[in-house]
Structure 1
Amino acid sequence: MLKIEVIVQVHQLKRQGFKVAAIARKCNLSRTTVYEYLERDFEEACRWAEDLKTKNTEA
């Protein structure tokens, strides 16, 4: 699964009322990562994912 898909899934689960710990278990992420993903809005997450792609191709 792509990172952007995981971020979207985290946001959807939060909107559905899941707690951070439950989201972390469901998505196999740390709670810290879940909090980081929830701080990003969708457009920011898209830019961040694109930055990751370009960094991986430059290496």
Structure 2
Amino acid sequence: MEKLLLIVEVHQLKKQGFKVAAIARKLEISRNTVYKYLDMTFDEATWMVSLCRRQKKQDP
């Protein structure tokens, strides 16, 4: 869930007029990650986050 919030925040900061380098510094992530998140739609972001939460054999 934290990653989804981060992606939404990147989009909000870009709409507010922040440059990619400023967003990267503010959120302490790389510029390449900012570009990757800006290319994603909300549906793609939720799909990507759901992949990280797959059930494991050892999960109760």
When normalised by structure 2's length, the TM-score is: 0.88
Question: Cα RMSD between the aligned structures?
Answer: 1.4
How many pairs align?
Answer: 57
The corresponding residue for 1:21 is: 21
Flag the structure with larger Rg: 2
Q: One-letter code of the match for 2:50?
A: E
* Other structure's SS at 1:33 match: helix
What is the aligned-residue identity percentage? 53
Query: Which residue in 2 is equivalent to 1:58?
Result: 56
After the TM superposition, which parts of structure 1 deviate over 2 Å for at least 4 consecutive aligned residues?
none
TM-score by length of 1: 0.89
Q: Unaligned 5+ residue runs, structure 2?
A: none
